[in-house]
């Protein structure tokens, strides 16, 4: 579900993604916020059903990337060390393979994707918005 989106064209974007899980595993959701040149251009969320917090984090990044048109350059900010370190090759993709494949497919649609860790609940306005959207999605299950 994408809310508050204008027509997006290929270009440079910043994506904040967050996953939420009530219980682990439990009802999960994904939230994302998309910026272009520092301005909010889209936000979205998706209920994920029963999943783990790690699956929710992976899917949040993938759903945000899939909300963008193909061919973009994207910097993804997430508070998930699991996602960042796995996408940078520091962790191996051993568990959650179907979800990693989904994220890999989302990444492959774009010209360049960079993953950056942001500390959760430390005052990052866009990370906090992604968190609220993920929680909203979780409650919709």
pLDDT tens-digit profile, the chain (141 residues): 555 556 789 999 999 999 999 999 999 999 999 999 999 999 999 999 999 999 999 999 999 999 999 999 999 999 999 999 999 999 999 999 999 999 999 999 999 999 999 987 677 899 999 999 999 999 998
Q: What is the pLDDT of residue 58?
A: 99
Query: What is the DSSP code (8-state) at residue 64?
Result: H
Q: Quick one: pLDDT at residue 3? A: 56
Q: Of 45, 34, 19, nearest to 140 (Cα)?
A: 45
2-139 in CATH: which number?
Answer: 3.30.420.10
Q: How many CB atoms lie within 10 A of CB 100?
A: 19
Tokens matching residue 22:
């009530």
The per-residue pLDDT for 122 is 74
> Is 0.85 surpassed by the pTM of this model?
yes
**94 exposure class (CB count in 10 Å sphere: 0-12, 13-18, 19+):** exposed
**DSSP category for residue 6:** P
Write down the domain spans for the chain.
2-139
């Amino acid at each position: 579900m994408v809310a508050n989106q204008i027509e997006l064209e290929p270009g440079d974007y910043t994506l904040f993604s967050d996953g939420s899980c009530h219980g682990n595993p439990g009802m999960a959701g994904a939230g994302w916020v998309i910026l272009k040149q520092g301005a909010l251009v889209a936000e979205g969320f998706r209920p994920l059903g029963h999943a783990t917090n790690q699956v929710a984090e992976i899917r949040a990044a993938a759903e945000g990337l899939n909300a963008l048109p193909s061919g973009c350059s994207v910097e993804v900010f997430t508070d998930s060390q699991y996602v960042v370190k796995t996408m940078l090759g520091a962790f191996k993709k051993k568990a959650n393979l179907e979800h990693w494949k989904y994220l890999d497919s989302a990444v492959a649609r774009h010209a360049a994707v960079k993953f950056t860790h942001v500390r959760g609940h430390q005052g990052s306005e866009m990370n906090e918005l992604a968190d609220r959207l993920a929680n909203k999605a979780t409650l919709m299950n």
